[in-house]
Amino acid sequence: MPDTEKQLLSMTGEAAVLVQRGRATFANAEAREILGQDCVGKRVAALFGETISGVQASSFLAQVRLREQPYLVRIARLDQEQVFFLRSQEDAPSVMNQPFLSSLRSSLMTVELAADRMRDLAEEAGSAPLLENLRSLTRSQYQIRRLLDNASLILEQSQGGIVCAARTFDLSRLCSSALEALSGMLPGISFPDRCGEGILVHADPRLIKILLLNLLSNAVRHGEGCSRISLSLLQTGQNVVLGVDDDGCGIREEELPRVFDRYRYAFRLDQMNAGPGLGLTAVRMIAQRHGGSLLLESRAGQGTTVRVSLPRPKPEQLRVPEEDALFDGKEFLTGLADCLPAGCFGEKWLD
């Protein structure tokens, strides 16, 4: 890179590292403060980890931990070089607090009880119009519950860290069961299953369920024009890499740096139905809590790929009963409430 362009990187105010042939050749003052004064000359794998160093995409976004702190790394390619931009990640906005979320949950419980009673009355009366409206109301209830669950996780992380009860379980079976159910609910989308059989992870089943459903929900909801969403599992060394790929509309390059914390920023009125953006933030925090990483690559008009690494079990770690690591109906409908049609919240699926 010419000296003039290095000078521009020095003046950006954003931590930036220039990489050529897998090795850092320049780092501005902000980047050296984060990575160390001796970072120039080191390989990408040593600075950011093996997951990022192996990516061949021209530009992508990833979450990493550097010196025990979470950072977003945005990578852009310039001819034969790459520029790595680093930005520190805060955990939660001050507006999120326990009394606020508890108050919302209390109000939601009242609405749910009233809706259940109305459903009983509608079924007794055989009122099809009322039952149809109740399906829309029920979907909204589940959407609010999903929002509260993600917000609670983000708040929990900010108040000392997400509680993680790691156990060994079959991730292949969990992923395959999710795809099988989605295929019946969304027949217009194909769901290729590349998860294999018997692939185990050592993680918190509750948190991994939330992570998986958030990724699937985002793929369906934000992948406008999507016709295919595939899940894959790959065992690499000490990790299992969970991959979610879609062929939807992708994410515009200018929006990519903020996908993990969209809820912090104002957004246009035409984006109101896209939700507040808590899902990917929760996914990032769950991956971090398990010592893993998250990588997101997206191109407008070509789709989005998300990769999450999770730890493989050690021989002495016992497996949990299989039924403890599968979805129940309420978990599944909550996690996918933003992307399922109202018809999935009727008597058939609720029962």
- Which amino acid, 197? E
Instruction: Give the residue-averaged pLDDT of 239-253.
Output: 89
Task: Pick the more confident residue, 267 or 171.
Answer: 171
- Under the banding of pLDDT at 50, 70 and 90, the label for residue 328 is confident
Model pLDDT, residue 12: 63
| pLDDT exceeds cutoff 60 at 94 | no
What the block records as the tokens of 202 is: 């050592």
Average pLDDT (7-25) is 79
Q: Average pLDDT for residues 126-133, to the nearest whole number?
A: 91
Q: What is the DSSP letter of 246?
A: E
User: What pLDDT was estimated at residue 66?
Assistant: 85
What does the pLDDT look like over 43-67, one tens digit per residue? 998 998 877 777 777 677 888 888 7
Task: Please report, as a single letter, which amino acid is at residue 342.
Answer: A
- Note the pLDDT of residue 272: 41
Q: What is the pLDDT of residue 266?
A: 44
pTM summary value? 0.76
Q: How far apart are CA 225 and CA 144, in angstroms?
A: 25
pLDDT, average across residues 209-220: 94
Q: What sections of 50-127 are H helices per DSSP?
A: 50-53, 98-125
pLDDT of residue 98: 83
pLDDT at 242: 97
Kindly indicate the confidence band of residue 322, based on its pLDDT and cuts at 50, 70 and 90: low
β-bridge mates for residue 319, sequence order: 168
Average pLDDT over residues 98-117: 90
Average pLDDT, the chain: 84
Query: Residue range 80-99: average pLDDT?
Result: 73
- Name every residue whose Cβ is closer than 8 Å to that of residue 40 and which is 6 or more positions away in sequence: 24, 25, 26, 27, 32
Q: Is 190 strand, coil or helix? A: strand
Residue 256 has pLDDT above 80, yes or no: no
Higher pLDDT: 269 or 110? It is 110
φ/ψ (deg, to 5) at 192: -60, 135
Higher pLDDT, 301 or 211: 211
What pLDDT, on the 0 to 100 scale, is given for residue 269? 39
pLDDT of residue 314: 85
Q: 153: which residues sit within 8 A by CB, 6+ positions away?
A: 162, 210, 282, 285, 286
Neighbouring residues of 116: CB distance < 8 A, sequence distance ≥ 6:
none
Q: How far is it, in rounded angstroms, from Cα 13 to Cα 297?
A: 25
pLDDT in tens, 20-33: 888 999 999 889 99
- pLDDT at residue 10 greater than cutoff 70: no
